[in-house]
Chain A
Amino acid sequence: MVAALADREAARSVSVEAGQDCLVGHFDAMASPCEILIESDDRGEAARLAQIAATEAWRIEDKFSRYRTGNVVAQINGSRGKPVEVDEETASLLDFAATLHTLSDGCFDITSGVLREVWTFDGGDRIPAPEAVRDILQRVGWDKVRWQRPVLTMRPGMQVDLGGIGKEYAVDRVAGKLAKATTHSALVNFGGDLAVTRAPRKRDAWRVGIEPVTGNQPQKGTILEIRTGALATSGDARRFLLKDGVRYGHILDPRSGWPVEGAPRSVTVAADTCTQAGMLSTLAMLKGYTAEAFLDGERVRYWCRR
């Protein structure tokens, strides 16, 4: 335990190096490489800003990661049917999750994580038995939860996972802190989910590559230019199951317990905040075949790969 903690602390370092007409702060958080691009040539300032960013990212990771013990998520998931009173920030995230659940007709559900007990998307062919999926659905569904701010009561065996919101939330929180800490433009990029604090001055826009995620086909990555606002990408072509020629993508419909059919391999959405962009790209993935039609209807700019 102590050794694991030491490892984690050792991995928690921040470095700053020169980028193209900017300084770049690097650190790791939420299982992703994170970077802060700052339109400044002051290394001291860059180091200070990167430290602010990393501190906030790690705080959010520690507080909401379901892999940590002793945090609020662990407390909720270990409640065995007893009511849990949560703090303001957690309550705001749960309110947000509740709104998304309603907005998506139950497709977006922070209690769906337990489905991973039967689904392992490792490129193999292990499809769970329909009975196993049906059994586990007894423990899935925000509608089975009692949420009366600030008290959450869940059935025994149910779990919440804020991983679907956490990273985008962290990007927006960090962007907000950096916007207060400097007048320079900064780009906050946590593993492809990113936000700009304010419009850059020395250049028209920040240039960002969307990773080619179509695993088996080499495809040229798309370069995007972002001046203000945020981008978020959902999807991972490497996470799927293949059985009898049928590809099962890793986006699960919490209402059926089975993968959504026809989901794009990845969806990148541009929005005012990273949280909005992330939710729109996730909701689009959950729409399956009609992902593009949904995004067209929402009149947002997006890039879809199939």
Chain B
Amino acid sequence: MLKEILNKFLILHDVRGVIVVKEDGGIVESIKSGMEYDDAFMAAVSTFMTGSKATADSFGNAPAFMVFMEFPDNFLLLAPLTEAFYLVVIAQNTANIGQINQEMKKNREDLVALL
């Protein structure tokens, strides 16, 4: 069921992967399309989560935060589902961030209900 919802992101233009991650970096669920997830990549995603969380904590009262990390051809978008669970979207730079954000808003409640 969780994968079904994550698949809604995957069908968006140029989205390559979607991962649900815990705030401690633990991977809950993941799907991909046109890319490979190896251990090193998952470790990087965990680092992305925990490092971002540590940075957000520096701001004091910032319970929810979103992180965007851009590379020449791809980007990672980390968005909160709850305070404990986050969604990481991996996409090519040609993907539409607004569309991804809207999909998150549409599906956040359903995702949270399954976590």
- Answer yes or no: do A and B interact: no
A residues neighboring B (CB under 8 Å): none
